[in-house]
A and B are shown apart, each in its own frame.
Chain A
Amino acid sequence: MSALIIDILLWASVAALAVMAWQRGSAVLASSAREGTMDFIAIVPRIALGVIGSGFIAAIIPPEVITGWLGPDSGWAGVLAAVIAGAATPGGPVVGFSIGAVALKSGGGAPQVIAYVIAWALFAFQRLILWEIPFMPARFVWFRAAVSLPFPFLAAAIAMTIGRP
């Protein structure tokens, strides 16, 4: 259901932008549509490799391994382990959030779980390789990842300071 809404929103945005391009002349519409299609063709092999291969990577990194790094280990060593675990988590949002939920229920500290979820959102290696690098300039991706490095730790520090509601 939500997938359908996403698709409708997505193609409605494409249609709206296509109309705006067309208002500048049909040549503008044609050239940008061709450009987008060429981008698509250029990117498909990479996406294919990533999506079709990601199942294998996920299969050899079982979630239990990641969960093990998110034990009740408190303090900054726990935060560091959580950040590494977040970056190493394969698969999509279901895997990442499920691991976080399991860690929370099995006694993982809240700051560590925050650090894990944020590190996963920022650096999950599979999303970086599969999505960000094909679409963005590689220089930007590495720069973005390096600059983001302090933020899971900052989030954990904020979480430790304000505590859980």
Chain B
Amino acid sequence: MPDISSNETGPDDDTAADAEAPPRRRRKQLDWPTIVIAVLVAVSAALVYRRDGGPGVWEILQHDFALFGGILPRVLAGCLLGAFIAEILPHEKVARSLGPSSGLKGLLIGAAFGAVLPGGPFTAYPVASALLATGADFGATIALVVSWTLIGYGRAIAWELPIMGTDFTVWRIVISLPLPILAGALGRFVYVRIYPTDVP
């Protein structure tokens, strides 16, 4: 979890010392969401085995291993993107344009960034996480993530247009347009009430 409390907003973040001791997201050890998914997977695999037998399990396993192999280089690319962004972006500027007091403009920047972000979840989440670690607040990051998922062009062009049709897709996106800003604003509104001590 990135430390977003107070010590990353100092004016001297961009110094050479920072390059040696950059702010780091603490890597999570085995946590309970992982345990939940492990249990879920084990139970599902057991149910598939009971229904379809060994060949059924093997078939799914082969397909998923192929998927995993294909996705792995992209996950690496996403992690590198996140690390480079955390290193390159001046924290002061990120905090100013996407921080808690960035106002509507910060939400708009977050939403616009989310809408044009290339790639899939393997880029969106590492980049969002890097911004969160470099001074963006929950509100702007929510606007980014919600915008990526609702109006990002990648998924809409690759999947939604061909499957749902142009009419529905355009209509759905038009209705979704205000949602990232509203979600980010609601996030900010709730955040300062739940975690009042986190706000500088």
Q: Which residues of A contact B (CB under 8 A)?
A: 2, 6-7, 9-11, 13-14, 17-18, 20-21, 24-25, 27-28, 31-33, 35-40, 42-44, 46-57, 59-60, 93-94, 97-98, 100-101, 104, 110, 113-114, 117-118, 121-122, 127, 129-140, 143-144, 147-148, 150-151, 154-155, 158-159, 162, 164-165
Majority-rule SS of B interface residues: helix
Nearest 8 pairs of A and B residues by beta carbon: A53-B41, A36-B83, A135-B125, A17-B84, A56-B44, A131-B121, A137-B1, A36-B80
Beyond A10-B118, A21-B84, is A137–B172 a contact (Cβ under 8 Å)?
no
What are 27 A-B residue pairs whose CB atoms fall within 8 Å in the complex? Answer: A2-B158, A10-B119, A18-B84, A25-B19, A32-B22, A32-B83, A35-B87, A39-B25, A39-B82, A40-B75, A46-B34, A49-B41, A52-B41, A56-B45, A57-B40, A59-B60, A100-B164, A114-B171, A117-B160, A117-B164, A122-B149, A131-B125, A135-B128, A136-B125, A144-B138, A148-B146, A162-B175
Residues of B within 8 A of A28 (CB): 19, 87
B96 touches A (CB below 8 Å): no
Beyond A2-B158, A121-B149, is A129–B36 a contact (Cβ under 8 Å)?
yes
Nearest-neighbor residue (CB-CB) of A148 within chain B:
B183
Beyond A52-B61, A135-B126, A154-B179, is A36–B45 a contact (Cβ under 8 Å)?
no
B17 touches A (CB below 8 Å): no
Q: Are A53 and B74 in contact (CB under 8 A)?
A: no
- B interface, how many residues as a size bin? 35 or more
Residues of B within 8 A of A162 (CB): 175
Residues of A within 8 A of B168 (CB): 104, 110, 113
Residues of B within 8 A of A55 (CB): 60-61, 63-64, 67
Q: Are B44 and A147 in contact (CB under 8 A)?
A: no
